[in-house]
Amino acid sequence: SAYRFDNKRINFTFDEYVEVANVQQNLIVSPLPKQTPEVTSKLKTVTVRIKDTLEENTTYSIIFDDIIKDVNEGNAVKNFIYVFSTGDRIDSMELTGSVELAENGKIDTTLTVMLHRSGDDSAVYKERPRYIAKLDGTGSFHFRFLAPGKYYLYALQDQAGIYRYTDKSKLFAFADSAILLQGKPEPVKLFAYSVPAPEKPAAPPSSGRKAAADKRLKFQTSTTSTQDLLTDYVFQFETPLRNFDSTKIQFTTDTLYTPVRTGYSWSLDSTKKTLTFKFPWKENTRYGFIMQKDFATDTSGYQLLKADTLDFMSRKKAEYAGLKLKFRNLDMSIQPTLLLV
């Protein structure tokens, strides 16, 4: 722990050589930052670079769950927490509880539990929470190092990492009254539910004309969920393109959809049907494209019916074949380097 913290970098030194993985999925920073910190490793050191401006007199916690692993055995450091304050004290309030499905009493560990400061009904739709927590294998959650005060508790299914309730067909739960953090509050139990999507009416008989929904830009992508680290991302259009405007498609990374502005390139082949995106992918990282309605127009004059997004993850290096080398009588004190040519 540290007090009156005002740095942008935190270094952790370990006894063994370490590496980091699953940062986007498992790192939890509280209060929730606008930009996710960068976590890197080199030899025996893990470095955290903070991108946000820190608030005054605020307690922060960084939870590294299954992120830091020793290189030799691959053993992960479990529930490693670093706490610091920009003021003279560390907040110590805690809140525990559990979430189960209202329909059958089962557990869904993909739910994220959130604490909001605002009690407005629209806050869960429009604002990011102050704190988040994940469920363990028993459906329980545990918030630590909280500031005293009044909060509003929710849980939702949020695989995109935007922490907003935008889809009623996804699981959602809420506490029916405000949570007052003072003393030792009682555990809270939430019941998650979802609103079934209404059945679509049967389509009317065809009149022989093309439906309006058909008058849209049609394409397929080379990646639906997981991007290979060694290949490009490809859009394959059904009809040749008349126009493509790269300024109207934004390439993003992490759960906050942070724009990536450099390091990539677009190319359209001679048939005008294959659009290739080249980028040096980082392993196990969330990426996405935010496409404006008119980012591309085909020769039929068709565009997207509305703005759209594409989200995907890059593969883990562990999913590829590995090479293990063993050296005998190697003096590690001089930090030897292996160069493969």
The domain locations on the chain are: 9-85, 93-192, 213-319
Q: Vertex 213, ends 207 and 214: CA angle to 5°? A: 80
Q: What are phi and psi of 126, to 5 degrees?
A: -110, -25
**CATH ID of 9-85, from 3.30.230, 3.30.360, 2.60.40, 2.30.30:** 2.60.40
Separation CA 329–CA 109 (nearest Å): 47
Exposure class string for 255-280: b at 16+ Cβ within 10 A, else e:
bbbeeeeeeeeeebeeebbbbbbebe
Q: DSSP label at 184?
A: -
Q: DSSP label at 19?
A: E
Per CATH, the architecture of 213-319 is what?
Sandwich (2.60)
Separation CA 100–CA 193 (nearest Å): 9
Let me know: does 81 contact 62? Beta carbons within 8 Å.
Answer: yes
Q: What are phi and psi of 56, to 5 degrees?
A: -70, 145
Q: Residue 156 corresponds to which tokens in the numbers above?
A: 């939702």
Let me know: does 111 contact 99? Beta carbons within 8 Å.
Answer: yes
Identify the pLDDT of residue 204.
Answer: 60
Identify the pLDDT of residue 259.
Answer: 87
pTM for the whole thing?
0.60
Long-range contacts of the stretch 165-168 (C-beta < 8 A, 24+): 165/124, 165/125, 166/125, 168/194, 168/195
Give me the residues paired with residue 235 across strands: 221, 275
Amino acid at 259: P
Within 10 A of 241 (CB to CB), how many other CB atoms are there? 19
**CATH ID of 93-192, from 2.60.40.1120, 3.30.70.20, 1.25.10.10, 3.30.70.100:** 2.60.40.1120
pLDDT by 10-residue block (mean), the chain, 341 residues: 91 93 87 91 94 94 92 86 96 96 92 94 90 94 96 88 84 93 92 78 55 75 86 92 92 85 91 93 91 92 90 85 76 78 60
Smallest CA-to-CA distance from 180 within 120, 59, 95 is with: 95
Grouping H, G, I as helix, E, B as strand and the rest as coil, residue 24 is: helix
Give me the residues paired with residue 337 across strands: none
Helices (H) and strands (E) in the chain, counts: 2, 27
Identify the pLDDT of residue 210.
Answer: 47
Residue with tokens 């055995």: 73
Exposure class string for 7-20: b at 16+ Cβ within 10 A, else e:
eeebebeeeeebbb
Let me know: does 254 contact 36? Beta carbons within 8 Å.
Answer: yes
